[in-house]
Structure 1
């Protein structure tokens, strides 16, 4: 039986390019053709040119040709970089306008209206005429241009060695960083910020927001998994984490199954960075709860009495006028806000004459019962001091100590080197006041006007306040030599430190394996002559270390400083994120997505430019400008 002849294999023909402008050959494959329209290849081995014609008639090719023609027809309406010399200025102006909107918590409706108004107000400006940034575009620039750029800057800083241009035989660490997290609810949505703190001699101390995510679970395992996975997604190594900080809840710092213990399993050198402000605040609250008069109740009872009634407020203003004092608004105390009690107490103390007169004028039937029990002893108008007056004077004097400590702790440039001395000073002040029975000079003068037995009872109550505060402080803060914060206090640069002190600090921080101790000594000797000058400077600890190490080739000493300064002393950075969230996620903006709010917080926190400075910055960032002009920032187009 005769067999059929084998069909000849067809190959690419270069002449096709004059007829079919969208085809081109594939290198190394003579029987396949690439289609520029479809961005794909197909075989011509069986039909040759017939295969090309068949592809041209296919539904997918026809659709893409139509899309391309429609896209080309829109070119006349779009700015062309090569034809418009102002395109970068226009884009930079649009980005800066959006940046301004975010920084000042304005609405995107205002942004839209403002851009439309600009071309009318400045008709002679070519840039103003071409600016176009509606609500959708503005939100997309925030979520897909500005926020990612702010994170990339942070990541770039964290991946750059702390000391550069070293000899080839030396290696510098990238900055150590600490991780801070917490949770807060917005309606039914539970949100977790992920904040980073790091330091380098050139950049100084930085607090940045890496992520802000939604998660309905709040277990230690879930929080740990979220933290580690998001750090790894951004290319950050877990062994560069210096510390973990959060509020003092058991889920964060429990002994057996907590976030800290799980992070410790990943990196044995992680430091437990409890929130010191939380401890000091709770110390004052705990001591106040032992007093015979519940000051929290008094403050909030008086505030609520006036906050719900304009008529009562007007009556109080009249009393202020009668006693010839300037009117001051009664302040509210929020138990979860660390700095609200002392100002509220101080305000009541300063307004005592008017406050007392007002509530006595109400009489027993109209004055709230809890307050009447405190004011009624002076209803005959003899002007004898009341116990409440003495308590307000005492707390105004004593709570100021705690208030000032919390203020120092909440400062953004506080370091772990300063904590031990700060807490020891607080303890010493309380002990001295207890030993001297010192309650403030005004308080003492008031107590002397009470009957002897009553005066002794009040003084004993105030002494018990000091005792309760000291007991709480010693329970929750370690004043022994085992506290690593005591061993690193020498590095606060309040005085010159020795290498013995430096090596002891390295040991308690457990970073001996991350530095070369022999080279560390040599670097210590290099900086020793400058220490005295640095000590005498009036600057923060972080700034002093920057001046000492900036421009030096001291990778090991810089690594020690990087680890030390990156350890936070409070959870204030995360609390600030929640404040920004509350300010951004108002009732009027309750439909905003988590992603948009996260992006706005990242832009506000991670960029440190004023609006004026940001325009100059944006104009130089070609990648940022291209991203803002790209249609990929729109989700609908990005997903097609």
Structure 2
């Protein structure tokens, strides 16, 4: 294919995407007419000179939680005025009912929420509440909370693990001679050489593979630096300290645990209930470790070896353990404070359906929603919960069915329930359905916005650098909003959609 043909093909693909994009937004608007609630989420990403903001909208239907891209724009600034105006104008442009918006999701930056207390007026959250006239929920990014938690705790340690990782990587990154010398030390010590890894300063937990790699090469690296003339003093001090390896093993174990929790959080359709439970589990795990002053077994084995060699004393171990105690104390204090804003969702935890729901728990949900002006009929709701109890008990009754049930995401469980309630009149379950509409419209995290940025980078390549934000918006709306597992599914949908076929045949190729 010639360069000209390749450019023509790229252009025609973009045109086809742009044609379908308005149809995807029309579907969102139609579904939102029937929905009782929705939330909005946004964040900023720089693409060269452009400051790109997507507006992700989340709501619940009988098919489950819906996460869609409503709009994507380039803004001139990242102020709270600019962000809140962007959100409001997007809702107004698409004629969405402000009263249905119940939550705003963003990262934990001050421009979004004004800090932990959320007391200030000059932030996006406060301004959105004023524009919307609603007491909306504010959801920060729990993944960032976990990142910041362990970073804050690690700052209390005597060993600055992040600085050492960056120093060691920088020492070898562009010096082939040094790398070859390190390989020789690896061969002498019978350790397999692995390339040292860099680390992103903006994502503290990205330290994990870098720390792991240094631990694998610890003895060769130590020998290399201690035998090198004029080696960096920071690195020399590190390798001359017999406790340094222990600090790395400790941080390695903590990062590994937190990283696993973040992976659980950032699932596409994870509800705010599930995310809150994960955060509480993380806090409980850390408290249990703190009570035991837990350290990995690798460190205990290392202590025994160093004591036998006379390299360290019990005093050195006690000093190390004092550091560990301070680490846990800081971690628990920080995480407890930052989880607190999400504690309002505790009354919804019965909806995980790990056991059949109990009315006393549902009553707490009823009272919470009443405070949010969500009107439910308590008598009807009680009867609906009784039906839910029977179905859940049935799913938990057998080993196979219980495993299948527990493997479902939370919103999938509720979709299953509504499909299996024996009635031809959905209104009979209107109260319990409204609870689902409310809670599953609240974003559990900001990962869905982050995914938009990942998709954007895939599309907005150097080869396609002349694309404008409006074109990228159309492409991403089609990718995010149309949920097809194959091209044949898309074809079947399009062939049965006269409106889409008509648009495809239109000579009006650019609708933006």
In the superposition, the TM-score normalised over structure 1's length comes to: 0.70
Partner residue of 2:31? Answer: 157
Q: Give the drift of 1:295.
A: 0.9
SS in 2 for 1:592: coil
Q: 1:322 to 1:621 in 2, by over 3 A?
A: farther
Tell me the equivalent position of 1:368.
232
Q: Deviations over 1:476-531 (max 9, x none)?
A: 2229xx93122221221122222332231132244453433333223223322112
Distance 1:587 1:312 in 2: 34
Number of the residue aligned with 1:189: 50
Mapped to 1, the partners of 2:214 and 2:139 lie a distance apart of 36
1:398–1:439 contact (8 Å) kept in structure 2: no
The match for 2:504 is 628
Provide, for residues 70-118 of structure 1, a one-character-per-residue CA deviation record: whole Å limited to 9, x for no partner. Answer: xxxxxxxxxxxxxxxxxxxxxxxxxxxxxxxxxxxxxx9889449xxxx
Cα deviation, residue 350, structure 1: 2.8
Over 3 Å counting, the alpha-carbon distance change for 1:306 and 1:579 in structure 2 is farther
Q: Which residue of 2 aligns with 1:329?
A: 195
Corresponding position of 1:435: 291
Name the SS of the counterpart of 2:197 in structure 1: coil
Q: Computing the radius of gyration over CA atoms, which structure comes out larger, 1 or 2?
A: 1
- The equivalent residue for 1:458 is 320
Contact preservation (8 Å) 1:493, 1:534: no
For residues 368 and 224 of structure 2, the distance between their equivalents in structure 1, rounded to whole angstroms, comes to 59
Could you tell me how far apart the structure 1 residues matched to 2:4 and 2:69 are? 25
In the alignment, structure 1 residue 410 sits paired with structure 2 residue 266 = yes
Does the aligned pair in 2 maintain the 1:534–1:544 contact within 8 Å?
no
Alignment counterpart, residue 153 of structure 2, candidates 259, 276, 287: 287
Q: Does 1:513 align with 2:374?
A: yes
Cross-structure match for 2:14: 139
Where 1:395 maps in the other structure, the secondary structure is helix
Shift of 1:441: 0.9
TM-score calculated relative to the size of structure 2: 0.86
Deviation digits for residues 242-301 of structure 1, max 9, x if unmatched? 311111122222323222223323243421212211111111000111111111111222
Q: Deviations over 1:168-206 (max 9, x none)?
A: xxxxxx1522110112222332221101122223x2222
Distance 1:293 1:438 in 2: 18
- SS in structure 1 at match of 2:158: coil
Following superposition, the deviation at residue 611 of structure 1 comes to 3.5
Change (3 A) 1:243 1:375: same
> Which stretch shifts more, 608-617 or 426-435?
608-617
Tell me what 1:522 maps to: 383
RMSD between aligned residues: 2.7
CA distance in 2, matches of 1:534, 1:454: 55
The equivalent of 1:476 in structure 2 is 338
The CA distance in 2 between the partners of 1:520 and 1:183, in whole Å, is 41
Tell me: CA distance 1:511–1:317, structure 2 relative to 1, closer, same or farther (3 Å). Answer: same
Q: Which digits, 9 at most, give the CA deviation of each residue in 1:303-355, with x for residues without a partner?
A: 23333344444444454444444443322221322641223222322332343
Q: 1:392 aligns with which of 244, 248, 253?
A: 248
Q: Do residues 614 (structure 1) and 490 (structure 2) align?
A: yes
Contact conserved, 2:52 with 2:74, CA < 8 A, in 1?
Answer: yes
| Structure 1 unmatched runs, 5+ | 1-107, 115-132, 162-173, 378-385
User: After superposition, what is the alpha-carbon deviation per residue over 1:433-460, rounded to whole angstroms, capped at 9, x for unaligned?
Assistant: 2222221111122234222222211121
1:576 maps to 2:451: yes
Quick check: 1:210–1:602 contact (8 Å CA) kept in 2? yes
348 and 614 in structure 1: CA distance in 2 versus 1, 3 angstrom threshold: farther
Corresponding residue for 1:224? 84
Distance 1:156 1:307 in 2: 54
Task: Show CA shifts across 1:149-184 (max 9, x none).
Answer: 33233333333x3xxxxxxxxxxxx15221101122
- 489, 495, 519: which one aligns with 2:355: 495
**Count of residue pairs the alignment pairs up:** 484
CA distance in 2 between partners of 1:498 and 1:612 (Å): 45
Q: 1:110 to 1:494 in 2, by over 3 A?
A: farther
The 3 A distance-change label for structure 1 pair 524 and 329 is same
What pairs up with 1:584-603 in 2 under 5 angstroms?
584-603=459-478
8 Å contact 2:38–2:58 — kept in the other structure? yes
State the alpha-carbon separation in 2 of the partners of residues 110 and 564 from structure 1. 51
